[in-house]
Amino acid sequence: MKVKKFLSQIYMTLIFIFMYAPIVTLIVFSFNENKGRRWSGFSLKWYQEMFESEMIMSALWNTIIIAFISATAATLLGVIACIGINSLKGKARNAYLAINNIPMLNSELVTGLAMMLLFIAFGISFGYTTIIVAHTTFCIPYVVLSVLPKLRQTDQRVYEAALDLGAKPIYAFFKVVLPDLLPGIVSGYLLAFTMSLDDFIITHFTKGAGINTLSTLIYSEVRKGIKPSMNALSTIMFFSVLLLLGIGTYGPKWKAKLRKNEK
């Protein structure tokens, strides 16, 4: 049994190393004195350059705004859709689930290209709007898949009881159903936000000239070699998220501990 546990630990560590080797490299090279693949001394100059670069800052701003708006829109549309889908049965329900699966089965490449053709055909000029519409579209399925199972688990009778006790449907929804759905909604939102943030392919086809997200800015730099200031930015983003995750996980525990100590 102990051997098994030991082997499991080793296996998990190896996977972890595989996933984090490039990330560690990235972080280390953000402190490299020179641009290039060899270590030439510690320096913070890429961090300074990053904050001074208007291009990087505007790309960062675009990325975050787009992720925020698309994830919010996708969550709203997705949650409302889930309530509708959940009340359907049989063929109609399956049809909805099939539509929901199209963007996941249909590679990002085809989705992105198809949207580009749509925007061109209808004369919609490329920019913020097109990117946000595209991101919302590919984020909705993730929200639906996170929320729908939670909705199915909720007890319909509790909602009906609330109605019997005189609650209006909307009031009953917010007081009774929504709290049960919240974990699904939160994970759907976070997933949508993360997917939008990390997306390259769909943005590449729907952005048009003159606007960049971090992904497309990096892609345009690949040919001449990516500047370490990009690494610097990623390093900061990585540690911010790590910090947020840490607060999210351990924050409540510390709070509880502090309270205990006070008593």
Partner 1 sequence: MSKTKRLLAGPYLLWMIAFIIIPLVMIAIYGFTDKTGAFTWENVIAMVRPEHLKALWLSLKLAFLCTLVCLLLAYPLALILKAGGVKKGSFVVMIFILPMWMNFLLRTYAWLNLLDDGGILCTLLENLGIARFSIVGTNTAIVLGMVYNFLPFMVLPLYNVMCKIDDNVINAAKDLGANGFQVFWRVILPLSFPGIVSGITMVFVPSMTTFVISDLLGARKIMLIGNIIEQEFSTAANWNLGSGLSMVLMIFILISMAALNHYDKTGEGTSF
CB closer to partner 1, 22 vs 262: 22
- Specify whether the CB–CB gap between 56 and 230 falls below 8 A: yes
- Specify whether the CB–CB gap between 124 and 130 falls below 8 A: yes
Structure token digits, residue 51: 């904050």
Q: What is the rounded CA–CA span in Å between residue 125 and residue 102?
A: 25
- Specify whether the CB–CB gap between 229 and 50 falls below 8 A: yes
CB closer to partner 1, 25 vs 48: 25
- According to DSSP, residue 42 is labeled B
CB closer to partner 1, 46 vs 259: 46
Burial 24-63 (b: 16+ CB within 10 A, else e): eebbebbbbeeeeeeeeeeeeebbeebeebeebeebbebb
Least Å distance between CB 263 and partner 1? 27
CB closer to partner 1, 245 vs 247: 245
CB closer to partner 1, 2 vs 262: 2
Least Å distance between CB 48 and partner 1? 19
Least Å distance between CB 118 and partner 1? 4
Structure token digits, residue 210: 């003159």
Least Å distance between CB 261 and partner 1? 24
Q: Which run of H or E residues covers position 254? A: helix 228-262
Secondary-structure percent of the chain, ordered helix, strand, coil, rounded to 5: 80, 0, 20
Question: Which residue matches tokens 């990585």?
Answer: 238
Least Å distance between CB 47 and partner 1? 16
CB closer to partner 1, 122 vs 262: 122
Least Å distance between CB 238 and partner 1? 5
